[in-house]
Amino acid sequence: MGYDVNYNQFDYAKTYEICQQVSRELAEIKERVLTSQRAATQCQNDLAVAAMGACMAVRSPNLDALVWRLRAAVFHAESSAMESTKLSSTIGQAGRNYESAENRVEHQILAETFVQKLDDVIQSIKNNNMRPPTEQMETILRLFMMLRPDFMFDRKMSFGDQVEIQTKELTALLRHFSSRRDTDIVITGQDPPQEVQVNGGPESFYELHSMLEDRGPEENGKFMVVEVDEHTYAVILPGTQNDKSGHDPWDYWGNADALGIESENYVDAIADAIEASGAKEGDEVIMSGYSQGGIHVAQLMKNKFLNRKYKMNKMITLGSPIGGIDIPDRVRSLSVEDDKDMVPGTDGTPNKNRGRNHYTTIFDGPREDIKPLLNDDSLFGAPHQLKNYGDHLRELGENPKPEIREHLRQFQLPKTPMKIRKFKIERVPRRMTEKQQEETERRLKNMTLPH
């Protein structure tokens, strides 16, 4: 068994970012030196004016030398800034060329091995209890993208980008014909605060998730805010819930909201819950999501409103398809996946080309001692169950590899009691704004009654 760790210590994007920063700093240095040069020139002029008042001609050789050296410094800073900008442009183009070439090669290989890949997928599904493993799920989606006419000859775009476009187009179509598009997500209930204790390691997040997932259908619609300390809060978002009422935001439609409109309609309710839990502006917020909840987490970490209000800089996802979501490099992320689980592969691309703060751990299926506790008859099978991901977190805590040890340390929680609050959210009919109400009343007044 065991696991692999995927992370990028350095890449084109990071190099480009560094060059851009150097260019900005050199431009700032140039302006400061230029200001100093002007000040030295003014001092020389002031000295000459003062001397003229005494009928003398005075000029400072030292000031002349300083002005000359500052002019030379301005020239060098300007030249260096231009060189840095040119280098940034070259690196940026090299990165784009690399990605374009990589995408063309991937498309070409898949086109030439289409039949073989399809056969491999079928065999893998048969060997995985009739469910495609993560990699084969990604391959299935890539094969579909190759059959789409407008993507067939566009090989510069990555498969992940193509799947993202397809997903957004599909969700937009579904939203157009769904009554859920005219609803808002609001808090409709709050459980009394409770105190809980966890073991402090990575498994702590499983313990918190299980307080939502393992309590039955009465917990549907709920998520959790944990008061870690006075200035740190953790938000725990659940996976997809089998609720057919149409009111539960975590139902299957929630996936469309997460992938189609980037969870924008969840922001207000989650922000209200964080504030109701005692968080102040500038406090740190850690987000953790299982399955669908992880997609929402990845989207919310880049939400401008939440980032203006809180320090959104840590996230955990468990079995979530987030390969197509651009997570800011400032965010420290840990994505846990099981390569026998089809769900992480439904984004059509692995989690790659991320910054140095993003780590993905990929486990080779459930461990033998946990298999008897898993239900393989569930929709996505045993590998996708929360209990399996809890065991993976436990293994991370028991056997952290050197390259991820420091990263895991950043996600430690206190072993002392923490206060948790559960909030229930629901979809409710959207209320008309005052302007919309006035417009509706105006139309009703102008209607002509039938004869």
Note the pLDDT of residue 431.
74
User: What does the angle CA 229 – CA 232 – CA 237 come to, to the nearest 5 degrees?
Assistant: 115
For residue 381, report the phi and psi dihedrals to the nearest 5 degrees: 85, 175
pLDDT value, residue 104: 82
The pLDDT of residue 75 is 83
**Where are the alpha helices (H) located in 214-282, listed in sequence order?**
253-260, 267-276
Give the CA angle between residues 300, 304, 306 to the nearest 5°: 60
Strands (E) located in 121-272:
183-190, 194-196, 222-229, 232-237
Q: What is the pLDDT of residue 371?
A: 93
pLDDT at residue number 167: 84
Euclidean distance between CA atoms 238 and 292, whole angstroms: 7
- pLDDT (0 to 100) of residue 240: 94
Whole-angstrom distance, CA of residue 257 vs CA of residue 45: 67
Return the bridge partners of 317, or none: 289, 335
Q: What pLDDT was estimated at residue 65?
A: 83
| Averaged pLDDT in 10-residue chunks for the chain of 451 residues | 65 69 82 86 82 73 82 83 79 72 81 87 88 88 84 78 84 75 90 95 96 82 96 97 89 92 95 97 97 97 96 97 90 95 92 75 94 88 96 94 92 95 94 66 60 48
Tell me whether strands 358-363 and 194-196 are parallel, antiparallel or unpaired.
unpaired
Cβ(208)–Cβ(234) under 8 Å? Answer: yes
Instruction: Say what the pTM is.
Output: 0.77
